[in-house]
Structure 1
Amino acid sequence: MVDDPLDNLDRRILHLLQIDARGASDTSIADETDVTGTTVHNRIQQLEDQGVILGYNPEISYERAGYPMRVLFICSIDLSKRSEMAVKALDVRGVVNVREMLAGEENLHVEVVAEGTSDVKESTEQLDELGLQIMSSNILAEEHIQPWNHFHQEMAGEDAETPSEIGSDEE
């Protein structure tokens, strides 16, 4: 891989997609970046082909969808089995996210959504059957997410816009 696989246009496109991937069209991104829609389309295709853009996923309110419980399990597994167990954990009932920690004893974080405690119990049992040692579990109250704005900040000579400023002139 090259030392710097992204140029300023790529960074700007990534930033705008993070803010609103669903609402961002090639044309609207082109308007923000002073290039053509075709250039934007080609750049997005290249970023997808290079594995920089892995997908486009909706942000879901599980509570409003009927799954009011979100539990974060902090697990431990031998580091040599961590990646294999992460993949297997994705098959456990209710698992929506698995994070591998680089090192340490608490090296696998598993997020589960559920309708109630009986579902959480079932997920707990399945994680245990995989051989994961559950160190702790925490009920998640809220999660706050924002786009990583450093793609845009690396652009020389431009003022950084906040997510609320971008697209604020929409009708």
Structure 2
Amino acid sequence: MVDDPLNNLDRRILHLLQIDARGASDTDIANETDVTGTTIHNRIKQLEKQEVILGYNPEINYEAAGYPMRVLFICSTELSRRSDMAKEALEVRGVVNVREMLAGEENLHVEVVAEATSDVKVSTEQLDELGLQIVTSNILAEEHTQPWNHFHQEIAGEPDTLSESESTEE
């Protein structure tokens, strides 16, 4: 992998997509970055090809969708099996997110959504059947996220200063 795979234009595109990936057209992003829509389209395709952009996922209000229970299970598994267990955990009923921790005993965090506590119980049993040791579980009240504008500190609020090679269409 290249030491710095992103240039200033790529960073701006990523930030603007984080703010509104669904509503931001190539033209809208081009207007914000002073390059053409074609350049933006090409850059986004390149970022997808490089797997910098992995997908476009909606942010779901599970409670409004009829799933008021959100539980975070903190689990332990052998480090050598962590990735395989994460993939298996994704198949468990209600699991919407699995995070692998780098090290330590509490190395798999599994988020489950459910309609009722009886559904959470089913998910708990399925996680146990996989061989995961559930260390603790917590009911999630709220989650707060924001776009990460630190791809490159100097781009925040400053006019984009692109080099000639960055602004040329690909």
TM more than 0.5: yes
Q: Which has the higher contact order (CA 8 A, sep 6+)?
A: 2
Deviation, 1:152, is 5.0
What is the letter of the counterpart of residue 65 of structure 2? A
CA contact (8 A) 1:15 1:152 kept: no
Match of 1:163 in 2: none
For residues 84 and 55 of structure 2, the distance between their equivalents in structure 1, rounded to whole angstroms, comes to 22
Match of 1:17 in 2: 17
1:104 and 2:114 equivalent?
no
Match of 1:118 in 2: 118
For residues 59 and 156 of structure 1, the distance between their equivalents in structure 2, rounded to whole angstroms, comes to 24
Cα RMSD after superposing both structures = 1.5
Match of 1:129 in 2: 129
Match of 1:35 in 2: 35
Encode CA deviations 1:93-133: one digit per residue, 9 max, x unaligned.
00000000000000000000000011000000000000000
What is the letter of the counterpart of residue 125 of structure 1? E
Sequence identity percentage:
85
What is the letter of the counterpart of residue 40 of structure 2? V
What is the letter of the counterpart of residue 95 of structure 2? V
For residues 79 and 104 of structure 1, the distance between their equivalents in structure 2, rounded to whole angstroms, comes to 8
Relative distance call for 1:112 and 1:156 in structure 2 (3 A) is closer
Deviation, 1:155, is 3.0
Aligned residues: 160
Deviation, 1:157, is 8.7
CA contact (8 A) 2:128 2:134 kept: yes
Encode CA deviations 1:67-90: one digit per residue, 9 max, x unaligned.
000000000000000000000000
Provide the secondary structure at the position in 2 that maps to 1:57: coil
For residues 152 and 158 of structure 2, the distance between their equivalents in structure 1, rounded to whole angstroms, comes to 9
Mapping for residues 14-163 of structure 1, pairs under 5 Å: 14-151=14-151, 153-155=153-155, 158=158
Match of 2:6 in 1: 6
Provide the secondary structure at the position in 1 that maps to 2:155: coil
TM-score by length of 1: 0.91
TM-score by length of 2: 0.91
